[in-house]
Amino acid sequence: MSIEAREARQPWILLSPALTAVTLLLFVPLMFIVVYSFWLRSAVGADTMGFHIDNWQRALTDPFYRYILWNTLKIAAITTVLCALLGYPAAYFIARSRGNKLVLLVLLMLPFWISYIIRTMSWINILGTSGALNSALMSLGITSEPIRMLYNEYTVILGLVHFLLPFMVLNVFVSLDGIDTNLEDAANSLGATKWQAFTEVTLPLSLPGLAAGALLCFVLAAGTYITPLILGGPRDAMFANLVYEAIITQLNWPMGSALSLLLLFVLGLLVLVYNRYLGMSQLTKGLG
């Protein structure tokens, strides 16, 4: 074999374990789901194979599904905005602190060591009718009856922000950390106040990181079913809950497949739009 041929082959050899894993564990199952989505669930239990568009028709036209999809995107959007507003100052603080950056970043990563489900359930002990907050309010005499705080849209958003904030902070931090601090000094020396220097120089230069963090938060929030399951009320279902419901409760795998693919398409479209305007490289930078 010539050296050129060997060199051309080397990247493929190195990639092959990952490619095999992705193909077997992601691509093939996904194809199963695509095929499933065109089958039909029959009353007897066994699914009818074939090419039926009924599931897709229902997924796209049923006003209930559309309402839930809309609600999901709304909750994801609110969560993303809140994460951006809360995460940016924190990321700025970490990026500009001297010396102890690493400690702060480790503190930021600390929650990841605890299961996401347990972190989410901990809110029940805080906000529940016999939770910490209500006990405190009652013992202070501010209220005599416990206040119902759990199981609504707000607690779902609260849980999502709690879960996703570190992703936002990390992405914005990477972006801010790469900005030369001399730029702000230069802007100040030219007559810009601290705030003007921030809005004119630092903020625009950190937008790619903010956008990458926003994309991650949005996609992860829109795809969640655990948070609404634990912290939401009956009317706060999100789209992934429909999939869960269809597959686990109703055992309607074909419908569940169609619904999950629909969500995949909507979020995929969003990623494509992001990629078109900002590029995926920012995202990988934020994760690295």
Partner 1 sequence: MSAVTLTDIVKRFGNFTAVHRMSLDIPDGSFVTLLGPSGCGKTTTLRMIAGLLDPTEGDISIKGRRINDVPIYKRNLGLVFQNYALFPHKTVAENVAFGLKYRKVPREEARRRVAEALELVQLPHLGERYPRELSGGQQQRVALARAIVIEPDVLLLDEPLSALDANLRENMRVELKNIQSRIGVTSVFVTHDQSEALAMSDTIVVMSEGRVEQIGAPEEVYNTPASEFVAQFLGASNILPAQALGIEGGELGLELPGFPRLAVPASRAPDVQKSGPAKLVIRAEKLVLESPDSEANGRYSVPAIVETVDYQGQSARYFLRVGDQQLQAINMIDQRPFSQGEAVALRFRARDCAALPVDPAP
Q: Which stretch binds partner 1 (CB under 8 A): 4-12, 32-40, 97-105, 181-189?
A: 181-189
Q: Which is nearer to partner 1, 189 or 281 (CB)?
A: 189
Q: For residue 222, which amino acid is it?
A: A
Quickly tell me which residue has 């194809």 as its tokens: 31
Does 178 sit near partner 1 (CB under 8 A)?
Answer: no
- Smallest gap from Cβ 205 to partner 1, in A, equals 6
Separation of alpha carbons 215 and 210, rounded Å: 9
Separation of alpha carbons 226 and 66, rounded Å: 20
Residues 6+ apart with CB under 8 A from 17: none
Does 90 sit near partner 1 (CB under 8 A)?
Answer: no
Choose which of 182, 249, 277, 288 interacts with partner 1 (CB under 8 A). 182
Among 68, 77, 57, residue whose Cα is nearest residue 240: 68
Largest Cα span, the chain:
84
Does 7 sit near partner 1 (CB under 8 A)?
Answer: no
Choose which of 141, 191, 234, 288 interacts with partner 1 (CB under 8 A). 191
Q: Which is nearer to partner 1, 45 or 191 (CB)?
A: 191
Does 205 sit near partner 1 (CB under 8 A)?
Answer: yes
**In this structure, are residues 87 and 93 in contact, taking their beta carbons and an 8 Å threshold?**
no
Does 174 sit near partner 1 (CB under 8 A)?
Answer: no
DSSP 213-224: HHHHHHHHHHT-
Q: For residue 58, which amino acid is it?
A: R
- Smallest gap from Cβ 212 to partner 1, in A, equals 17
Does 193 sit near partner 1 (CB under 8 A)?
Answer: yes
Q: Which residues bind partner 1 (CB under 8 A)?
A: 180, 182-183, 185-193, 196, 200-201, 204-205
